Amino acid sequence: MEQFGSIDPRLTGARLMLSKVKAVVPVMSAKGGVGKTLVAVLTALHAARMGRRVGLLDLDVTSPSAHIALGVDPQKLQPEERDGVVPPDVAGVKFMTVAFYTWDKPTPLRGPAVDDAIREVLAVTNWGELDLLVVDTPPGLRDEALDVLEYLPRPRVLAVATPSRLARAGVERLLAILEEQGLERYIVENMAIGAVGLEELAEKYHARYLGRIRYDPGVEEALGSPEKLLDTDMAKDVEQIAKKLLEELGL
Amino acid sequence: MHEWALIRAIIAEVEEVVKKGYKVDEVTVYLGELQNVDKSVMEAYLNEAIPQIAPGAQVRYETEPARFRCRVCGREWGLDAVELDEATREAIHFVPEAVYSFVRCPFCGSRDYEITQGRGVRLALVTSRRQEETGETR
Ligand SMILES: [Zn+2]
């Protein structure tokens, strides 16, 4: 006789929920503050404008912020219960965040609780049919960020980096990990100012370089409104990146 | 509904084990008090579905009380020590970690605590090798 003790059904559940999603793109960064969330939000908004069926999932469970960029009040807008929970439509994007359940209160999760929250959100969210699911991940290269890659089917990672020389080591490590895991990887350069590009890093780690996004102080003003966000200079740069990404993904 | 997502995942797990060549004798579904899933809905679906996938399998349900341990003062407590309104219960039902946004340690007020048991839904299976495949009994 054999025992299968303590099976966690959630990852199997997550696989079922994501089974009709054509491409899953986790947006990752080696550290916080590089504009990862905005790149994720704008990529999703642009892809939706280009006529694709798009989802956006905020898995930065300890400090979710995609809803702030989109101007979603989690106390007013809630997912609908249908074979799990169906993410509400925000500016043409199916949007899911743990903030729907924590109502913007601080959520001091530690260690295994971070992992549990991520698994739970993945297991309950009913995405239906999508062309593209953009996932905003926890920043950094700690377990919770890397575990996400294991939970998602065939993740094709969009790495967001700044050209800062200080940040360079982090970006290198991220690209090296992605290469080691044999994952498809793309890189975009955010807040690009000078001429020192990340193209050669992309080359070194066999990542596809999708382009650079200029630093745009106007973005701050546009937070909270998808229309205003799409009107920024940053959005114009991301539009080109989104086009290339969809091409790469065959969508 | 949310229960349905968990039910489907449980069914897929049992199917997987059967596919691997095991005979499933018993399925125990642990229902964590914190997540507070509707047991009658689970029973209605699983009692019907599991015997179809795994003939002869017994399905049992066990409710696990939620327990918390504070990392600051070291004390332990259960859900009866805290008050939760309806909306909070609902939030925790979907994502049990939402508890950290609403509940503090009832003894010292800290939010640094762990859920030691009764968090969510998990399952355990008792199986035996299928005779016709291995040619032996175990
Ligand atoms: Zn305490």
Whether A57 is in a domain gets the answer yes
Compute the distance between CA of residue A211 and CA of residue A209 in angstroms, rounded to an integer: 6
Compute the distance between CA of residue A165 and CA of residue A214 in angstroms, rounded to an integer: 17
What percentage of chain B carries pLDDT values higher than 90?
Answer: 91
pLDDT at A118 over 90: yes
What percentage of chain A carries pLDDT values higher than 70?
Answer: 98
- Confidence grade of residue B2 (pLDDT, cut at 50, 70, 90): confident
pLDDT at B135 over 60: no
- Domain covering B3-129 in this structure, CATH number: 3.30.2320.80
Q: Report which secondary-structure segment, H or E, holds B122.
A: strand B121-129
| Nearest-neighbour CA in chain B from A123: distance (Å) | 7
A13 touches chain B (CB under 8 A): yes
Are B5 and A126 a contacting pair at CB < 8 A?
yes
Indicate the number of domains in chain A. Answer: 1
A residues 146-185 lying closer than 8 A (beta carbon) to B: none
pLDDT tens readout for residues B6-16? 999 999 999 99
Give the residue extent of every domain in chain B.
Answer: 3-129
Q: What is the mean pLDDT of chain A?
A: 94
B2 marked as binding residue: yes
* CB-closest option in A3, A12, A108 to B12: A12
pLDDT at B126 over 80: yes
Question: What does A137-164 look like in DSSP terms, one character per residue?
Answer: PPSSSSHHHHHHHHHSSSB-EEEEE---
pLDDT at A172 over 80: yes
pLDDT at B100 over 90: yes
Identify the pLDDT of residue B131: 57
- Confidence grade of residue B116 (pLDDT, cut at 50, 70, 90): very high
* Chain A residues close to B22, C-beta within 8 Å: 2
Are A113 and B112 a contacting pair at CB < 8 A?
no
Using the mean position of ligand 1's atoms as its centre, give its distance from the Cα of residue B116 in Å. Answer: 14
Whether A3 is in a domain gets the answer no
Identify the pLDDT of residue B106: 97
A residues 47-76 lying closer than 8 A (beta carbon) to B: 61
- Confidence grade of residue B136 (pLDDT, cut at 50, 70, 90): very low
Instruction: Give CA angle at A144 (A158, A13), nearest 5°.
Output: 85
Is B2 strand, coil or helix? helix
Whether A135 is in a domain gets the answer yes
- Confidence grade of residue A194 (pLDDT, cut at 50, 70, 90): low
Q: Which amino acid is at B79?
A: L
Compute the distance between CA of residue B138 and CA of residue B135 in angstroms, rounded to an integer: 10
B108 marked as binding residue: yes
Question: What does B8-76 look like in DSSP terms, one character per residue?
Answer: HHHHHHHHHHHHTTEEEEEEEEEEETTT---HHHHHHHHHHHHHHHSTT-EEEEEEE--EEEETTT--E
Mean pLDDT (whole number) for B11-24: 94
* CB-closest option in B10, B17, B100 to A109: B100
Whether A62 is in a domain gets the answer yes
Whether A13 is in a domain gets the answer no
φ/ψ bin of A156: left (φ > 0), alpha (ψ from -120 to 50), beta (otherwise): beta
Residue of A nearest to B5 (CA): A84
pLDDT at A193 over 80: no
* Chain A residues close to B9, C-beta within 8 Å: 9-10, 12-13, 16, 123
CB atoms < 10 A from the CB of A228, how many? Answer: 15
> Chains A, B: CB contacts under 8 A, how many?
123
Distances in Å between the Cα of A107 and the Cα atoms of B98, B102, B118 are 7, 9, 19
Identify the pLDDT of residue B129: 78
Mean pLDDT (whole number) for B115-135: 83
A120 touches chain B (CB under 8 A): yes
CATH number at residue A165: 3.40.50.300
Whether A208 is in a domain gets the answer yes
Mean pLDDT (whole number) for B44-68: 96
Question: What does A2-49 look like in DSSP terms, one character per residue?
Answer: EEEEEE-THHHHHHHHTTTEEEEEEEE-SSSSSSHHHHHHHHHHHHHH
Identify the pLDDT of residue A39: 97
Domain range spanning residue A38? 25-249
* Chain A residues close to B120, C-beta within 8 Å: 10, 116, 120
Instruction: Give CA angle at B27 (B21, B29), nearest 5°.
Output: 135
pLDDT tens readout for residues A135-146? 999 988 888 889
Interface test with A, best of B4, B26, B37, B97 (most A CBs within 10 A): B97
pLDDT at A4 over 90: no
Q: What are phi and psi of A110, to 5 degrees?
A: -130, 150
Q: What is the mean pLDDT of chain B?
A: 92
Bridge-based pairing state of the strands A85-86 and B113-117: unpaired
Are A9 and B122 a contacting pair at CB < 8 A?
yes
Mean pLDDT (whole number) for B75-100: 95
**B126 alpha-carbon distance from chain centroid:** 16
Contact A138, A8 (CB under 8 A): no
- Give strand pairing partners of B22: B129
Compute the distance between CA of residue B24 and CA of residue B6 in angstroms, rounded to an integer: 19
Mean pLDDT (whole number) for A152-169: 91
pLDDT at A73 over 60: yes
A217 touches chain B (CB under 8 A): no
Strands (E), A62-103: 80-81, 85-86, 89-90, 93-97
Identify the pLDDT of residue A2: 67
Whether A134 is in a domain gets the answer yes
More confident residue, A143 or A21: A21
Using the mean position of ligand 1's atoms as its centre, give its distance from the Cα of residue B111 in Å. Answer: 8
Identify the pLDDT of residue A164: 84
- Confidence grade of residue A79 (pLDDT, cut at 50, 70, 90): very high
pLDDT at A25 over 60: yes
- Confidence grade of residue B137 (pLDDT, cut at 50, 70, 90): very low
